[in-house]
Amino acid sequence: MSPDASAFSADTQAVHSGRGIDPATGALTPPIHLSTTFERGGDGSYPYGYIYGRSGNPNRDALETALATLENGAECATFASGSAATFSLLQALSPQDHVIAPQSVYFGVQQMLEKILAPWGLIYTLVDTTDLAAVAEALRPNTRLVLIETPSNPQLAVTDIRAVADLAHQANAYLACDNTIASPVLQTPLALGADFSIHATTKYLAGHGDVIGGAVVTRELNPLFEQLRLIQTIGGTVPSPFDCWLTLRGLQTLPLRVRAQAAAAQTVAEWLAQHSAIEQVLYPGLPEHPGHTVAQQQMTGYGGLLSFLVKGDQDAAMAVAARTRLIARATSFGSPHSTIEHRASIEVGTATAPNLLRLSIGLEQVNDLIADLDQALSG
């Protein structure tokens, strides 16, 4: 019998949520259920609770249960990618509904708003969500959703979740918070008033750089989540059973990984801030970061992702990335392997500075990472 993981600490929840001893074999590791279809009863019913892989699967149910427990939410819907999760939530709105999103919103979300959802009829406004007055001014009678990302990618801007939740709710709108960078280990948006917590499970939740996925956790059942669930089922943007199994496996070590990566990132950020070749370090754990005070209030750690601006132009930044030996030049973040990336060459047409490099801290020894950065910055 599986224990009620919700009664325990987050570390214990990460190990036990969504997991139980297999009744058929006694296995402590759950089996992977690859079947696309399930047997019906003689009376036409579904005695096992499953119909077809698109509408439900034991591995997906286990993962959704675990994520809802970790975020202290009512339910979770998982998707084939983080982008699919955000897109499906936005698609659950109606034409002529208004959405507020950050000016520094993730490049992929900006693209889906501009190129897909706006032509479909969704209205959106991009504002600096760290500026509460700007959020309040952007609200309209038809505002249905405020979307924030805190800390943001790659600017590491920090938005006051509780304050923006209050503004959204006063306007009868929902608040959705992308919690990918912090993870439930360091930040719990639903406890701060957000209605939805969004994740690219690809990053810290799965944690090993070998599976793509996304999730939306809702604080309570509401019409927008019900529509989202319909989109998940009918639209079929679901993760495979094996993807769910891999992500659930990754959750077991989530607290240990995230805390270790955050501690190392703090050390690296402090070292970079003193380096003569660095113009600025963007990391909420630094006292000089404009969002540091808010981050202290709503986070228990500052995450394993940071960005820094190299003194010079784009060529100077690219040259630094080209010289790293231990840190891989690659996109994405959250895996055990540290990565570095020049974001402006990916986010074409955005406000990302040409001399900005995004650095994802992995699980290598921090002194090895600093030595690699030092030789790369020294040229």
The answer to whether 203 is a known catalytic residue is: yes
Handedness of CA 348, 352, 356, 361 (dihedral sign): negative
Catalytic choice (203, 257, 343, 358)? 203
From 209, 204, 215, 206, select the one nearest 250 (Cα to Cα). 206
- The first and second tokens of residue 106, run together, are 């993730």
The answer to whether 106 is a known catalytic residue is: yes
Instruction: Count other Cβ atoms within 10 Å, centred on residue 127.
Output: 18
From 208, 193, 204, 177, select the one nearest 106 (Cα to Cα). 177
Q: Is 76 helix (H, G, I), strand (E, B) or coil?
A: strand
- Strand arrangement, sheet containing 278-282: 278-282, 305-310, 356-360, 339-342, 328-329
Which stretches of 205-330 are assigned E, i.e. beta strand?
Answer: 214-218, 278-282, 305-310, 328-329
CA dist 78 and 58 (Å) reads 13
Catalytic choice (11, 50, 54, 249)? 54
Query: In DSSP terms, which residues pair with 308 in a beta bridge?
Result: 281, 357
Spatial neighbors of 7 by CB under 8 A, at least 6 apart, are: none
Query: Is 372 within 8 Å of 324 (Cβ atoms)?
Result: yes
Q: Is 222 helix (H, G, I), strand (E, B) or coil?
A: coil
Catalytic choice (106, 174, 283, 302)? 106
Catalytic choice (178, 195, 243, 372)? 178
Q: Which amino acid is at 340?
A: I
Q: Which amino acid is at 140?
A: R
CA dist 73 and 67 (Å) reads 8
- The first and second tokens of residue 120, run together, are 């479909």
DSSP state of 37: B
- Which residues belong to the active site? 54, 106, 178, 203
